[in-house]
């Protein structure tokens, strides 16, 4: 299975981002804490032209906290500070501002030495669709200034947003890349909701199979506890059927509604109802 999703507006957004980079001091790169690499555009380094970057590990409340600490160390080892955040709850905002001030301090000091009056830090927020950019901006601005939604692709244009006296943020549409070199990247993105479910169609079962297998291998007991299974079958499909049976997802004739069972597992994973789960490790 290969999942690809690259709406036309994203190609335009990439060009516009490149044009606006000269206006900003640093880039906030927002990723999903459950899949920090899979949700990180591999073209980011090329796009941002070596601008100072801070990686924001959003939805940290849904990710395995132990694994998140490993990711923070991983990015730090690459010379890029990483901050765990929960955009919907406003967690991690102080660290976001602190890291920005630290990184931009040399530039601001240089301007002051030239007699130029200090100005607000200008930052660009980049990330793939549905990773929480608009929710984060609304929290930082302390008002509803960016459109939010539970489907990817809500933000379609750039907009400057003032955050107090010290920050100005440039919101941008979510940018995916034209082709996922690793098919598992597409699966992880689909599992966390970064790709529209309408695009998945027949691929949805493969995404659920991947998720069920990962949970069995990395988080044993999670599915048994959540769905009251006496044991987990060896085959992912049998696990899906067992969950459907337990939840009463039965069609006429006593047939288990396979699609409804897949939807249930995906929905509850994304909502954190299976626990704090990370789908990749550094």
In the 8-state DSSP scheme, what is residue 204? H
Its CATH architecture, for the domain 196-270, is Orthogonal Bundle (1.10)
At 155, the pLDDT band (50, 70, 90 cuts) reads: very low
Per-residue model confidence as pLDDT tens digits over 169-197? 887 666 655 556 677 888 898 899 887 76
Exposed, middle or buried, 203 (CB in 10 Å: 0-12/13-18/19+)? middle
At 81, the pLDDT band (50, 70, 90 cuts) reads: very high
More confident residue, 158 or 59: 59
Q: pTM score > 0.75 for this model? A: yes
Residue 104: CB atoms within 10 Å: 16
Q: What is the predicted pLDDT for the residue at 154?
A: 43
Q: What is the predicted pLDDT for the residue at 114?
A: 85
Residue 144: HSE in the Cβ half-sphere, 13 Å Cα cutoff: 3
Backbone phi, then psi, for 126, in 5-degree steps?
A: -120, 150
Mean pLDDT of 105-115: 83
At 87, the pLDDT band (50, 70, 90 cuts) reads: very high
> Contact 216/231 with Cβ under 8 angstroms?
no
Q: What is the predicted pLDDT for the residue at 108?
A: 82
Q: What is the predicted pLDDT for the residue at 9?
A: 52
At 128, the pLDDT band (50, 70, 90 cuts) reads: confident
Tokens of 105: 């301090």
Same fold, 8-171 and 196-270: no
Q: What is the predicted pLDDT for the residue at 131?
A: 86
- Percent helix, percent strand, percent coil in the chain, to nearest 5: 45, 15, 40
Q: What is the predicted pLDDT for the residue at 168?
A: 86
Per-residue model confidence as pLDDT tens digits over 36-47? 999 987 777 777
More confident residue, 147 or 210: 210
More confident residue, 218 or 159: 218
Most confident of 21-30, 45-54, 256-265: 256-265
Residues in the chain, total: 282
Domain boundaries, the chain: 8-171, 196-270
More confident residue, 277 or 111: 277
User: Does residue 105 have a pLDDT over 90?
Assistant: no
> Contact 30/174 with Cβ under 8 angstroms?
no
Most confident of 26-35, 191-200, 201-210: 26-35
Helices (H) and strands (E) in the chain, counts: 11, 6
Q: What is the predicted pLDDT for the residue at 198?
A: 64
Lowest mean pLDDT segment, chosen from 38-42, 65-69, 97-101, 139-143:
139-143
Q: What is the predicted pLDDT for the residue at 118?
A: 76
Q: How many percent of the chain have pLDDT more than 70?
A: 83
Domain topology for 8-171? Rossmann fold (3.40.50)
Q: Scanning the structure block, which residue is given the tokens 């490790």?
A: 281
Q: What is the predicted pLDDT for the residue at 10?
A: 57
Residue-averaged pLDDT of the chain: 83
Compute the distance between CA of residue 171 and CA of residue 185 in angstroms, rounded to an integer: 25
DSSP labels, 132-189: SHHHHHHHHHTS--S---SSTT---S-EEEEETTTEEEEE------S--SSHHHHHHH
């Amino acid at each position: 299975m290969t999942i690809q999703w690259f709406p036309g507006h994203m190609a335009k957004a990439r060009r516009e981002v490149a044009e606006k980079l000269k206006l900003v001091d640093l880039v906030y790169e927002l990723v999903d804490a459950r899949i920090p690499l899979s949700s990180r555009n591999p073209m980011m380094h090329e796009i941002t032209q070596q601008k100072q970057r801070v990686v924001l590990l959003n939805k940290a409340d849904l990710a395995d906290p132990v694994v998140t600490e490993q990711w923070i160390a991983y990015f730090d080892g690459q010379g890029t500070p990483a901050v765990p955040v929960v955009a919907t709850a406003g967690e991690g905002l102080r660290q976001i501002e602190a890291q920005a001030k630290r990184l931009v301090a040399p530039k601001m000091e240089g301007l002051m030495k030239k007699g130029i009056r200090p100005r607000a830090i200008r930052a660009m927020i980049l990330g793939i669709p549905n990773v929480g950019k608009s929710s984060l901006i609304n929290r930082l601005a302390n008002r509803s200034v960016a459109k939010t939604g539970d489907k990817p692709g809500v933000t379609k244009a750039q907009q400057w947003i003032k955050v107090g006296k010290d920050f100005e943020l440039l919101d941008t549409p979510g940018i995916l890349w034209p082709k996922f070199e690793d098919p598992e990247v597409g699966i992880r993105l689909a599992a966390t909701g970064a790709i529209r479910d309408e695009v998945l169609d027949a691929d949805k079962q493969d995404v659920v199979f991947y998720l069920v297998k990962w949970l069995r291998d990395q988080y044993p007991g999670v599915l048994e506890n959540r769905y009251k299974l006496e044991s987990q079958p060896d085959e992912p499909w049998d696990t899906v059927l067992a969950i459907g049976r337990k939840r009463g997802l039965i069609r006429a004739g006593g047939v288990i509604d396979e699609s409804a069972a897949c939807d249930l597992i995906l929905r509850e994973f994304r909502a954190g109802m299976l626990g704090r789960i990370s789908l990749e490790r550094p």
